[in-house]
């Protein structure tokens, strides 16, 4: 008799864990479906940027400042976080 109660308790616990898992997955999917659209420009496919597509991301990011400086014609956008060297975190290489 005690064995049956323990078996039933284990089944209830497993059922609760499975229900909690499913609810968590549904919550994550709902959260991701509400994510805003991508608004950041992708890295352009032009002669100036083509070399960055084959490079390691960290190496490529260090080279962005060669052309993109506050004094340059290709100024960093005012909404970009300055001096982070994480350009390709937002600007995707599609």
Instruction: Indicate the pLDDT class of residue 61, thresholds 50, 70 and 90.
Output: confident
Q: Using an 8 Å Cβ cutoff, are 53 and 43 in contact?
A: yes
pLDDT of residue 84: 66
Q: 42 in a domain, yes or no?
A: no
What is the C-alpha separation between 60 and 85, in angstroms, rounded? Answer: 9
The more confidently predicted of residues 25 and 90 is 25
Q: Indicate if the pLDDT at residue 14 is higher than 90.
A: yes
Q: Using an 8 Å Cβ cutoff, are 75 and 68 in contact?
A: yes
Q: 60 in a domain, yes or no?
A: yes
Q: 65 in a domain, yes or no?
A: yes
pLDDT of residue 16: 97
Q: Indicate if the pLDDT at residue 3 is higher than 70.
A: no
DSSP state of 72: S
Give residue 7's domain range: 1-35
Global confidence as pTM:
0.53
Count: domains in the chain: 2
């Amino acid at each position: 008799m005690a064995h049956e109660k323990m078996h039933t308790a284990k089944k209830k616990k497993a059922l609760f864990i499975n229900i909690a898992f499913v609810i968590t997955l549904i919550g994550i999917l709902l959260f991701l479906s509400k994510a805003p659209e991508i608004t950041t420009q992708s890295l352009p496919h032009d002669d100036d940027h083509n070399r960055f597509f084959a490079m390691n991301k960290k190496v490529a990011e260090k080279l962005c400042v060669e052309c993109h400086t506050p004094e340059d014609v290709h100024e960093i956008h005012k909404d970009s976080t300055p001096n982070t060297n994480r350009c390709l975190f937002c600007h995707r290489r599609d």
